[in-house]
A = this chain, B = another copy of it.
């Protein structure tokens, strides 16, 4: 009765969306362990087997969630970058804070963004080589889609860094900035960056980071 009048494709799309939304809610509430395909299905108004018509399994569903989040983040950073009112360093600070903001607001979703590629037992030990292979994987493969989405974010981010430190050092400092921001976000949400014992806030750390990189980047 909810999706009363709907063509077949529309109905399927609605179901898929409902599954993703329900999974996102459960993920925010109780982490990956709380995302149970049965509960997701129930919240989406379908039965246990329905998700397998849209995803290959639980992992695929979680990965699709991460892909969507990467795309959302990329859009935010793109908007930041093309804002003429902001200075280059403001854009960089903003981009880093977008990432940290996700970690703060949706910690479990954030951890899905940086999940290991191919964490199945049979896929271990291949490391980064697998990533390269997956970049050539067909569209629709959930894992490959997520990697590509994360890659598009990195490209967007790299443009900002390039504007600030020049093309020569952009990739090096870009990697450093990204890794540092991720480390700050991850340690904060896991409780390992105690603001009490270390007497620092994430924002101050980002400021210091950007300042150091601009200083080092200009003189090189």
Contact = CB atoms under 8 A, between A and B. Distances in A.
A200 interface: yes
B176 A34 contact: no
Contacts of A205: 172, 175-176, 179
Max chain B Cβ within 10 angstroms of own Cβ: one of A174, A178, A180, A189: A180
A85 B204 CA distance: 34
A116 interface: yes
A97 interface: no
A189 B199 CA distance: 29
A82 interface: no
Interface string A16-59: 00000000000001110110000000000000000000000000
Interface in A201-220: 204-205, 208-209, 211-213, 215-216
A187 interface: yes
Contacts of A186: 114, 179, 182-183, 186
A72 interface: no
A115 interface: yes
A84 interface: no
Nearest to A183: B183
B124 A31 contact: yes
B121 A30 contact: yes
A154 B191 CA distance: 13
Interface string A107-130: 100010011111101001001101
Given A179-B180, A191-B116, A208 B216 contact: yes
Contacts of A93: none
Interface in A179-199: 179-184, 186-199
Given A30-B124, A121-B34, A172 B189 contact: no
Q: For the complex of A and B, list the 4 residue pairs with the smallest distance between their C-beta atoms, beginning with the closest.
A: A183-B183, A30-B121, A179-B183, A180-B180
Interface of A: 29-31, 33-34, 107, 111, 114-119, 121, 124, 127-128, 130-132, 147, 150-151, 154, 171-176, 178-184, 186-200, 204-205, 208-209, 211-213, 215-216
